[in-house]
């Protein structure tokens, strides 16, 4: 099973970027990072486990918010250095701001405009 991990091109910190995509709609929900342990746990549990660069520890998506990502498919890019996780996003919220996606702003006329609503106030999610 570890053979698939050895086929990854990890960066100098032993990490690789991971794009989480809604398996049904195809919408990009977020980008995070994994180390080999996070990837192995993700495969084993079929639940997204990331590496938090700021906290320097494993991060089970939804461990505080309940907004777990159930993994439906894992894809590796042609250079073996980026993953896409196709996920079922529990609760419909992937972003810590309470939005469905972390990509909720668009560039319009040189300004970043917020175009997606807050689904749930983060104060109600993170207690």
> Using one digit for the tens of pLDDT, what is the confidence trace for 41-50?
999 999 999 9
Rounded distance between C-alpha atoms, residue 5 and residue 101, angstroms: 28
Q: Residue 120, Cβ neighbours under 10 Å: how many?
A: 15
pLDDT band per the 50, 70, 90 thresholds, residue 126: confident
Please write the tens of the pLDDT for every residue from 80-90.
999 999 999 99
**CATH class assigned to 3-118:** alpha beta
Residue 69 CA to residue 49 CA, distance in Å, equals 9
Domain ranges in the chain are 3-118
pLDDT exceeds cutoff 80 at 1? no
Nearest-5° Cα angle at 26, 23 to 30: 85
């Amino acid at each position: 099973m570890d053979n698939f991990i050895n086929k990854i091109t990890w960066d100098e910190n032993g990490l690789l970027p991971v794009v989480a995509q809604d398996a049904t709609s195809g919408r990009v929900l977020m980008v995070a990072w994994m180390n080999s342990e996070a990837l192995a746990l993700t495969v084993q549990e079929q639940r997204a486990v990331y590496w938090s660069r700021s906290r320097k520890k494993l991060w089970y998506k939804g461990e505080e918010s309940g907004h777990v990502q159930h993994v439906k498919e894992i894809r590796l890019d042609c250079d073996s250095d980026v993953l896409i996780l196709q996920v079922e996003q529990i609760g419909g919220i992937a972003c810590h701001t309470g939005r469905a996606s972390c990509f909720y702003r668009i560039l319009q006329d040189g300004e970043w405009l917020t175009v997606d609503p807050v689904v749930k106030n983060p104060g109600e999610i993170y207690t």
